[in-house]
Amino acid sequence: MYTASFAFFEAIWEAGITHCFVNLGSDHPSIIEAMVKGQKEAKGNFPRIITCPNEMVAMSMADGYARLTGKPQCVIVHVDVGTQGLGAAVHNASTGRAPVLIFAGLSPFTIEGEMRGSRTEYIHWIQNVPDQTQIIGQYCRYAAEIKTGKNVKQMVNRALQFATSAPQGPSYLVGAREVMEEDIKPYSLEQGVWDSVELGGLSPKASKQIAEALLGAENPLLITGYSGRNQKIPAALVELANTVKGLRVLDTGGSDMCFPASHPGWLGLRFGIEPFIEKADVIVIIDCDVPWIPTINKPKEGIKIFHIDVDPLKQLMPLFYVPAQHRYRADPLAAVEQITSEAQGQAAKLNTEALTKKWEALQASHKDRIATIASKATPAEDGSFGTGHLCKTLKSMCPQDTIWAVEAVTNTAFVHDNLQPELPGSWINCGGGGLGWSGGGALGIKLATNAENGGKGKFVVQIVGDGTYLFSVPGSVYWIAKRYNIPVLTIVLNNKGWNAPRKSMLLVHPEGLGSKATNEEINISFDPVPDYSGIAKAAASGDLFAARVDKAGDLERTLADAIKAVEGGQSAVLDCKVTLGC
């Protein structure tokens, strides 16, 4: 028997998808049959199936895998309710530009047994909704229904073309039981005609203009966010910064390591708030959604601003604009290389003494920045410590090529400042606003680095806020980690609640009633504090390293034990009590 469902799995495998993260239901009889058939008859040429007890975790795993490798993965969920269960993870994949193919069944469209797959259960009436694709359609690059098995492979490849073309993101396919049960003749496609859309670079005029502006500026600034998804970008930006003496580079949290901390032009990661934005006299924005927040800090009037992006109009954002005189839809790497090449030719004609002074000033500024970060990352006299000291210690103890999966919310800048990432692909944060990404995201990243490195992947550390940890559905995360042997180290930043809502309130009502209220009174407190590591240990049937740390004197010893456990194949969760603001 060769069904539409089996052809679906053939199609995703032929398109390069290696993993399916599944949460199955009554719409999937033919999907289940196809899975069993594929695992028996097409071993080694069939996607690996990962059971996920929660849909958001499934989506986050596919998302993390795709972000690290650039290779789309598949999520299979159950009709409308499973689609809704994906929740904020779809938002994260959309804003974080992660290529993921989502498939969900539809309630059968026949009632009296007219076709194989016709309704057989009570729930088939209850889950029959007017337009299932609309549930997540606005977050997807493409959403459509498979209406016949005869073109199921074409539908899969069309969805993947959208998902993998910049700006990348999720695509959503649905298919009723009758359609997915359909017997069809085996067929294949020529995969070479289904590649993603390729973007070009800048025009010669544009690259010349940008290079001239940067070289002529006293305080040039480049702001980026997602460009580091292409792991060739950090080196390309370094070459540009070495050419344009005095160029500073600001990362705005688009989810990837874009520029190394050791370079004197490094300004770190800030969510649209950085004093140098107001000082800059030329700004180049590359692949960035929020370069600055105008109500808090914005560029000077009249300066030159160039905006280069795969999606400069931000077509999924109803409100977006920056006062750029020039906008370009272009591939970031190609654009950076063009600007650098042009700048190298022009720089040879500039005053060497002036360039040397700029470079020396930049180095001095960078040295001061690093020293300031270090001074804030010291424990208090009573032994308490902040996120900065914790991450500084983590960096010193974890393997040099560790991959950091970060969802630290209000602590993100402290994490980035002290980890000071250097290697392309070594820092991945959510890139969206749907808290809970990092649990499944870290598992997907670990699964990916294992698969890409013959089973022995890089060390993966999840750094997550306490409230966000609860959003991540740890009961599902650590069950999956145990079942599929995906060991990661999780660091929970325990500051007894959600602090982001207080920050948001104070930005609008700095002297309001809430400014004087306790965390309990504004309903952001987690007191009594949950046993975060205990939750994970229970989910892993007890096979997990769990510990709490609240004193700096215990941190190194406990971290050493946790790292050893993870390197030995056991997941570890450290509940770390951190002080605020450092």
pLDDT digits (tens, 9 = 90+) for 449-480: 999 999 999 999 999 999 999 999 999 999 99
| Measured CA angle at 118 (ends 114, 119), to 5 deg | 130
Residue 153, H or E segment? helix 152-164
> CA quadruple 106, 110, 111, 113: dihedral positive or negative?
negative
How many whole angstroms separate alpha carbon 133 and alpha carbon 516?
Answer: 45
User: Helix axis angle, 55-69 relative to 437-452, nearest 10°?
Assistant: 50
How many whole angstroms separate alpha carbon 398 and alpha carbon 418?
Answer: 13
5: left (phi over 0), alpha (psi -120 to 50) or beta: alpha
| Measured CA angle at 124 (ends 120, 129), to 5 deg | 155
- The pLDDT of residue 299 is 97
- The pLDDT of residue 141 is 98
- The pLDDT of residue 526 is 75
CB contact burial 282-291 (16+ within 10 A = b; e otherwise): bbbbbbbbbb
How many whole angstroms separate alpha carbon 555 and alpha carbon 393?
Answer: 8
- The pLDDT of residue 254 is 66
How many whole angstroms separate alpha carbon 255 and alpha carbon 550?
Answer: 29
Contact assessment for residue 280 and residue 219, using Cβ atoms and an 8 Å cutoff = yes
Single out the residue of 514, 272, 517, 520 nearest to residue 412, CA to CA.
272
Beta bridge partners of 579: 386
How many whole angstroms separate alpha carbon 141 and alpha carbon 288?
Answer: 18
How many whole angstroms separate alpha carbon 43 and alpha carbon 145?
Answer: 29
DSSP one-letter string for 354-415: HHHHHHHHHHHHHHHHHHHHHHHS---TTS--BHHHHHHHHHHHS-TTPEEEEE-GGGHHHH
Contact assessment for residue 418 and residue 458, using Cβ atoms and an 8 Å cutoff = no
How many whole angstroms separate alpha carbon 526 and alpha carbon 468?
Answer: 12
User: Helix axis angle, 4-14 relative to 29-41, nearest 10°?
Assistant: 60
- Residues of the chain with pLDDT below 50 are none
Tell the residue number behind the tokens 């060497």, with chain if given.
352
- The pLDDT of residue 496 is 67
- The pLDDT of residue 253 is 77
What residues contact 514, with CB distance under 8 A and at least 6 apart?
502, 505, 506, 522
Contact assessment for residue 440 and residue 58, using Cβ atoms and an 8 Å cutoff = yes
Single out the residue of 233, 214, 133 nearest to residue 176, CA to CA.
133
Going across the sheet that includes 73-77, the strands are: 48-51, 19-22, 73-77, 100-106, 170-176, 142-146
Q: What one-letter code names the amino acid at 16? A: G
